[in-house]
């Protein structure tokens, strides 16, 4: 049996794009990040207010973040991803949700991290979870990054791993394996949660809270 968990908002309150900005600032490249941020701030405000579509803007935003790392060797970006996890995402983890993953792993269930975050970051979080729990390495399904000849090209290699795309990818990965439980925090996670026997809404946003109430799903919060 398998258990799926979203990353940002579910296992951690940290956000990869903010953490990458912090990395650049701490490594002498804060100006490049601030410039990108300010150029795209008007679009971000329009997307948040509903004037322009949120999902396409979110994808463009993340592409512009990763564009700041164009030319970086893949192995070097894996070290950046480990920094993001160790310095930001793990310190902002939700201990009670991490503990739930530990229980599932102790029961012999395969944990799968499924996230729109960049693939190297999801892999780094999976490795940290393995170290901290002493359990098997979770599978990691994130948004892949374009690379050529061992270097990042500054773009995404596939659509953001959210919504229906996330659900399809998880389904294809598991095949006939039963998805016993799934954990998510937003309306984007509903398609993934619908695949499981036991959907769990973790500190849900308004859309997921309404769906969880309508369908009788468990809600994980104080």
Domain annotation for the chain: domains and CATH numbers: 2-220 (3.40.50.1000)
- Residue 87: Cβ within 10 Å count: 15
- CA–CA gap between residue 117 and residue 52 (Å, rounded): 22
Q: What is the DSSP letter of 27?
A: T
- CA–CA gap between residue 110 and residue 129 (Å, rounded): 13
Q: How far from the centroid of its chain's Cα atoms is residue 37's Cα? A: 20
Name the nearest CA neighbour of 214 among 2, 222, 204: 204
Q: Which residues neighbour 87 within 8 Å (Cβ) at sequence distance 6 or greater?
A: 19, 22, 23
How much is the pLDDT for 53? 60
- CA–CA gap between residue 121 and residue 89 (Å, rounded): 9
Alpha-helical regions (H) of the chain: 16-26, 30-49, 54-67, 74-84, 95-106, 119-133, 163-174, 190-193, 206-215
pLDDT values of the chain reduced to their tens digit, one per residue, 222 residues: 999 999 999 999 999 989 999 999 998 887 777 777 677 666 556 656 666 566 776 777 788 889 899 999 999 999 999 999 999 999 999 999 999 999 999 999 999 999 999 999 999 999 999 998 888 899 999 999 999 999 999 899 999 999 999 999 999 999 999 999 999 999 999 999 999 999 999 999 999 999 999 999 999 887
Name the nearest CA neighbour of 142 among 163, 164, 113, 167: 113
How much is the pLDDT for 44? 59
How much is the pLDDT for 73? 97
């Amino acid at each position: 049996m398998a258990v799926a968990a979203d990353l940002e908002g579910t296992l951690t309150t940290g956000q990869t794009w903010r953490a990458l900005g912090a990395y650049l600032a701490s490594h002498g490249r804060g100006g490049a990040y601030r410039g990108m941020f300010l150029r795209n701030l008007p679009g971000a405000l329009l997307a948040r207010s509903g004037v322009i579509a949120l999902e396409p803007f979110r994808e463009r935003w993340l592409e512009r973040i990763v564009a700041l790392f164009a030319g970086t060797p893949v192995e070097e970006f894996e070290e950046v991803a480990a920094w993001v996890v160790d310095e930001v995402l793990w310190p902002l983890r939700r201990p009670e949700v991490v503990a739930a993953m530990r229980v599932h792993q102790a029961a012999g269930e395969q944990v799968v991290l499924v996230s729109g975050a960049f693939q190297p970051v999801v892999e780094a979080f999976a490795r940290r979870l393995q170290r901290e729990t002493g359990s098997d390495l979770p599978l990691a399904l994130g948004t892949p990054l374009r690379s050529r000849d061992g270097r990042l090209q500054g773009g995404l290699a596939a659509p953001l791993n959210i919504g229906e795309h996330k659900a399809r990818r998880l389904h294809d990965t598991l095949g006939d394996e039963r998805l016993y439980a799934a954990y998510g925090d937003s309306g984007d996670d509903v398609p993934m949660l619908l695949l499981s026997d036991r959907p769990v809404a973790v500190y849900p946003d308004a859309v997921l809270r309404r769906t969880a109430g309508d369908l009788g799903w468990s809600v994980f919060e104080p």
